[in-house]
Each structure stands twice: as C-alpha cells, then as structure tokens.
Amino acid sequence: MSFRSSFLGVGTYLPERVVSNAALAERLDTSDAWIRERTGITQRHIAGPTETCTFMAVEAARQALARAGVSGESVDAVIVATATPDQAFPATAVRVQAAIGAGGFGFDLSAACSGFIYALSVADSMIRGGAARRVLVIGSEVYSRILNWEDRATCVLFGDGAGAVLLGAGPADGPGLLSTHLHSDGSFGDLLFVDGAVGLREASGCLQMNGREVFRHAVAKLAGAVDEALAANGLSYADVDWLVPHQANKRIIDAMGKKLGLAAERVVVTVDRHANTSAASIPLAFAEAVEDGRIRSGDLVLMEALGGGLTWGSALLRM
C-alpha cells in the first residue's frame, strides 16, 4: 500500500524576549531605518538562558501534538533540523523524543536554513516507504548563541525560535506533501558558515557571511527549485495559492512572490517580526498562516529555502 504524508498538526515557540531594531541601534553603528530598508526586519526574539534548542523544540512539538489531538506515544520518529544544538550528542531529537514520550527513533539533521525542507523530505520518504506512520518534523534554532554581536552586518539579521509539524500516513491520492526537491553545492561553502565546532576548537564559533553573494545566488537557485517542484507535479504558477518562503530577507521574498505572480497577501511573511530563524523560519511562518485561517483545506502551498552549504530546496503540498 502506498501513502502520502499528510499534515496533522502544527506548533511553534518563540522566546519571551523581543529585541527591536532601535534597541540594537543603541549599541551598534546602525539604525532602525537601515535595517528595515535592507531586510524588512523590525524586531527579533532572543532566547534566554533556559530557552535552549531542546526546550523550544519540545514546546513546539507539544503544541503540534495537542493541535493534532494525539499523544507523543503515537509518534514513530522525531527529526530536528538545527545548526545550533545544545550538545554535540545526543541529538536534540532524542531529548524531544524522551520529553514527549515517543517511541521509535530520533535524529538531528543539519542543512542550515534549508534544514526544514530537508527534514520534510526525509520524513516523507520514511512515510511513503512504510518505515514510520507518524513523524514529528521540527526546526529549532538559537542563532543568538553563534552571532558576533559587534558585527552589524550579521547580528541584526537573525532571531531564535522553533516550529514543528506532525506528519502522518494518509491515502496516496489524498491531501499532503506532493514532492520535495533538494540541492546543494559545496563549492559555495565559504559564503555562509560558522567556523568552529567540537572538532575545531580554535575557531571563533561565530557566523560569517558574504551577504551580497548569498543574495545573488538565492533568487536564481530558489527560482529553479520552484520551477522544478511545479514541473514535477504538472502544475503552473497560477495553481499556487500560497508561498511560504524561508524568512531571510524581504527583498528575496518579494522577488520570489513576483516571479510566481502572487499578490503580496498570498505570500506568508514573518521576517519583519521574527528575523531569520534559519531552519525554524518556514515552520513558524506555515504554522502562523494555518492557525490564523489564511491557509485552508485544498490550498496548494509552495515552500522554498536556501542556506549555508550552499543548500537549497522546495516542497509542494496540498492542504
């Protein structure tokens, strides 16, 4: 029997502390106007000492389970997309697994800002192949821990948070995830990276980015992934009801919406309030639009992201 991955529930967590552009301008050579004009960001949530990657992932997972009306015991697998885990090991996912009382297995996946799309693809393969019937897919990030807060070019861009979706095995001809499309090109790895990990202790451990070059690659590569997803399903731009993009920069988001011919109100935007939450940005935006009633049953939703690696990809789903 064949299956399709259906969306059963969504959940989110955002740290309590909100930091405005004006607050950053008090100690950096920047301004609210400079940040808004270049990125669209007005504020971001910054995690406190107890708001760890695991803590936020657990909170988002519990909310997704509650909204789906199921218990953690019914979950077969937990996949957490993160570049900022609390520990080198065990994986954040197994901490979540224990907290919600799930069985089966769990693991982390690292693909930077594309992590949620990558994790969706892995979960979908498991469900289609019969390896799991219910999979929690979570993006959880605490980028505030890896930023150089003296570097105005990067520290103003990011925020913290977590988003989760619960996928379940549904009929192959029913609603759910139609396809996912993944890409990477390691020759561009030095455009966006964090130099430092357990295996390289002498490095700074702070995010470094060539923003101009990342922007240049983003629109072209994302456009290709979008075209690929639609072509694979025999669909056109006109069929898309909603674009839920990675929330990195309002200019990139606007460019993708324009390419699809979508009215601004059909593009889900949270970058203004959340900033770039990396692997958490798409599930946070998706959950918001589902919960406030914008995205409804039957809608065709397109997701896309690009991140360090470079990694990029798209996902197409029918609600």
If one counts the domains in the chain, the total is 2
pLDDT at residue 219 in the model: 85
Q: Within a 10 A sphere around the Cβ of 300, how many other Cβ atoms?
A: 17
Pair (182, 39) in one structural domain: no
pLDDT at residue 1 in the model: 72
pLDDT at residue 204 in the model: 60
CA nearest neighbour of 123 among 90, 164, 84: 164
Pair (19, 157) in one structural domain: yes
Say how far apart CA 232 and CA 99 lie, in whole Å. Answer: 38
pLDDT at residue 234 in the model: 98
Pair (254, 228) in one structural domain: yes
Q: Does pLDDT of 56 surpass 80? A: yes
Count Cβ atoms within 10 A of the Cβ of residue 50 and give its class: 0-12 exposed, 13-18 middle, 19 or more buried.
Answer: exposed
CA nearest neighbour of 138 among 247, 249, 62, 44: 62
Active-site residue (options: 45, 246, 249, 274): 246
Pair (238, 287) in one structural domain: yes
Query: Looking at residue 289, which CATH number applies to its domain?
Result: 3.40.47.10
Active-site residue (options: 155, 249, 274, 276): 276
Known catalytic membership, residue 183: no
Known catalytic membership, residue 276: yes
Pair (8, 102) in one structural domain: yes
The percent of residues in the chain predicted with pLDDT above 90, rounded, is 89
pLDDT at residue 154 in the model: 94
Pair (12, 81) in one structural domain: yes
pTM exceeds cut of 0.85: yes
Pair (32, 96) in one structural domain: yes
pLDDT confidence band for 227 (50 / 70 / 90): very high
Known catalytic membership, residue 113: yes
Last residue of a domain, one of 140, 171, 202: 171
Pair (202, 249) in one structural domain: yes
Last residue of a domain, one of 151, 171, 191: 171
Active-site residue (options: 45, 113, 181, 274): 113
Domain span holding position 21: 3-171
Last residue of a domain, one of 145, 171, 197: 171
Pair (155, 221) in one structural domain: no
Rounded to the nearest angstrom, the gap between the alpha carbon of residue 319 and the centroid of all alpha carbons in its chain is 18
Pair (69, 136) in one structural domain: yes
Tell me if the bond preceding 90 is cis, omega within 30° of 0.
Answer: yes
pLDDT digits (tens, 9 = 90+) for 230-287: 999 999 999 999 999 999 999 999 999 998 999 999 999 999 999 999 999 999 999 9
Task: Give the per-residue SS3 of 272-298.
Answer: HHHCECHHHHHHHHHHHHHHCCCCCCC
Pair (255, 162) in one structural domain: no
